[in-house]
Amino acid sequence: MQYAPTDSHPKARFYYFFKEKLQITNETFIFTQANRIFKNITMEYYISRNDRKEGPFTLDELPEKRIVPDTLIWAVGYKEWKQAKDVPELESILYSTPPDIPVQKPMPKTWLVESILVTLFCCLPFGIVGIINAVKVDTLYYGGFYEESLYRSKQAKKWILWGVIAAAGCVALYFFFLLFLFLFESNSYI
């Protein structure tokens, strides 16, 4: 070649040194350049699944690999593994099938009416605790705190139950007292 550097030329030594070190041929060099130019067509992706690397796959092969939004993806030029949802060119693959329908959890029972009735007719202190818990159920539910809402609902139910038990206990004690009084008085007359 007319313009090829002679072996004695400093540039030539530099050239051969790198050619030998990196073990690249002119063909692979051209191929990687082309790869960079037509990145979107020839880009190859690796998938990390169950701590194992799979790939390389082309963009056309990826739909068969059952990628979900948090599957880890790597391709040339990435500093680190990325989640599939952060890779813009995978959007069409990720969101080509409809996602799971979000499950709407119904609001837990508030027990408000029951706790007010318990406050009025059974046991005031336990009823008040029931009301305080009951009122929080719906505001927490609509505020997006489902777990806390469920907890308050259970607490309200528990205190209502204790209120009813306390009232029933009081009534039972009262009737036992009356019964004993009656028996005692009827004995004393004999």
Q: Give contact residues for other proteins (rule: CB under 8 A).
A: 112, 116, 119-120, 124, 128, 131-136, 139-140, 142-145
Peptide bond into 56 cis (omega under 30): yes
Q: Closest approach of Cβ 44 to other proteins, in Å?
A: 46
DSSP classification of residue 46: E
Q: Rank residues 141 and 162 by Cβ distance to other proteins and give the closer one.
A: 141
DSSP classification of residue 122: I
- In angstroms, the CA 55 to CA 45 distance is 6
3-state secondary structure of 74: strand
Q: Closest approach of Cβ 133 to other proteins, in Å?
A: 8
Q: Closest approach of Cβ 162 to other proteins, in Å?
A: 17
- In angstroms, the CA 3 to CA 5 distance is 6
Q: Rank residues 87 and 134 by Cβ distance to other proteins and give the closer one.
A: 134
Q: Rank residues 84 and 156 by Cβ distance to other proteins and give the closer one.
A: 156
Angle at 184 between CA 179 and CA 188, to 5 degrees: 150
Q: Rank residues 43 and 112 by Cβ distance to other proteins and give the closer one.
A: 112
Q: Closest approach of Cβ 161 to other proteins, in Å?
A: 19
- In angstroms, the CA 162 to CA 57 distance is 64
- In angstroms, the CA 146 to CA 141 distance is 5
Q: Closest approach of Cβ 105 to other proteins, in Å?
A: 16
Q: Rank residues 71 and 155 by Cβ distance to other proteins and give the closer one.
A: 155
